[in-house]
Amino acid sequence: MHFDACNIDRMSLPFVASRYKKAMHNPLLKPHRQPAIKGAGGFGGGGVAAKAGELGFTKALAQEAARSGITVNAICPGYINTEMVQAVPKDVLEKSILPQIPIGRLGEPEEIARCVIFLTSDDAGLITGATITANGGQYFT
């Protein structure tokens, strides 16, 4: 189960804690043509500020939820091989996007799913307030 940043706050935390003792993750970055956390594209300062605010909220909520045995983390994917990215013209993808990704390829949705699976497993019980940046080394948060 995942919880969006807008759906969890201090008021609802007792309800969540009473029913779900597993990790929450914040699906922070919705697919964009350019990573908003980097400040690229048409997002400017507003997009970057919004994402930074969500990261800050994730960290604050992680501290609050820890007392209830809940971990809260953010996953920030880079370019993922989704329908939206596949709609980008092939020449733009090959000449402008892929060269910016050090591993030289798009991420796959299953790779992001494995991040979620890990964060919701008992193996990640110590990890809370973290940002998993799954983008092939394109940028760091």
Structure confidence by residue, pLDDT tens digits, 45-102: 777 888 889 999 999 999 999 999 999 999 999 999 999 999 999 999 999 999 999 9
Using pLDDT thresholds of 50, 70 and 90, give the confidence band for residue 26: low
Q: Which CATH number fits domain 5-134: 3.90.650.10, 3.30.70.260, 1.10.10.10, 3.40.50.720?
A: 3.40.50.720
Whether 33 shows a pLDDT value over 80: the answer reads: no
d(CA 102, CA 104) in angstroms, rounded, equals 5
Is residue 21 within 8 A of residue 70, CB to CB? The reply is yes
| Boundaries of every domain in the chain | 5-134
d(CA 104, CA 51) in angstroms, rounded, equals 25
d(CA 44, CA 29) in angstroms, rounded, equals 15
Query: Among 36-40, 63-67, 104-108, whose mean pLDDT is lowest?
Result: 36-40
Query: What's residue 3's pLDDT?
Result: 52
